[in-house]
A = this chain, B = another copy of it.
Amino acid sequence: MAEPPDRRTSEIDEAIMRATYRALHEHGYAGLTMQRIADEYGKSTAAIHYHYDTKEELLAAFLDFLLERFREAVHEVETTDPERRLRLLLDQLIVEPGDHHGLLVAMLEMRSQAPYNETFRERFQQNDEYIRYLLETVIGHGIEEGVFADVDPEHTARTLLTVVDGARTRAVVLDEQTALETARAAVEEYVDTVVLAD
């Protein structure tokens, strides 16, 4: 029956995170003001400043919130069969546009701020390393089990992530459905010809 002592507090934090998400989704990163977050939250800006001293602190917390959700989603891929696992992971990375397109846009904006914001940079680097590690591991397993060609797992993972990031960037900048389809096809070709080849 013992409830964590900060149960109410963390509910508030979560509500602010969700408000930030909606404000970001609607107005983009450049248009993300404390006022807009407060509007989504349904309280005053001072209320948010009560929980987070600065905007920077709030955004750091928000990025943690967001990337953790992302990693949880990727983590749900449970197959151990290397080829199937690799394809499923890559499918997870190349998400459908639809509802998530606004977030894809906002994420690229935030990523483009990495050079000016150490907090952002650290978190994006850490997240990328995590995903790359997952890919390297599954590629390594595939090679051990003899179903994948003897490629360099690190280089192969980096190449696949480059294609994924390129597709995301192009989907945002060029507003093209095609970008993600191209990536899906390219990744499939790459898996077929480079990884499975022999």
Contacts and interface: CB of A to CB of B under 8 A. Distances in A.
Interface of A: 28, 30-31, 105, 108-109, 111-116, 121, 124-125, 128, 155, 158-159, 161-170, 172-175, 178-179, 182-183, 185-186, 189, 193-194
A113 B193 contact: no
Nearest to A179: B162
Nearest to A168: B169
A109 B114 CA distance: 10
Task: Name the prevailing secondary structure of the A interface residues.
Answer: helix
A124 B105 CA distance: 15
Contact of A111 (B158, B173, B179): B173
Contact of A30 (B30, B155, B158, B175): B30
A189 B155 CA distance: 12
A111 B189 contact: no
Nearest to A125: B174
B167 A162 contact: yes
A122 to B, nearest CB: 10
Copy number of this protein in the oligomer? 2
Given A166-B164, A170-B161, A115 B175 contact: yes
Contacts of A164: 166
Contacts of A114: 172-175
Contacts of A173: 111-112, 114, 121, 124, 128, 165
Given A116-B28, A116-B30, A172-B115, A155 B167 contact: no
Given A105-B115, A173-B111, A163 B161 contact: no
27 contacts: A105-B115, A108-B112, A112-B112, A114-B172, A114-B173, A114-B174, A121-B175, A124-B173, A124-B174, A125-B174, A128-B170, A128-B173, A159-B185, A161-B166, A162-B166, A162-B170, A162-B182, A162-B183, A162-B186, A163-B186, A165-B165, A165-B169, A166-B166, A166-B167, A168-B169, A169-B169, A193-B193
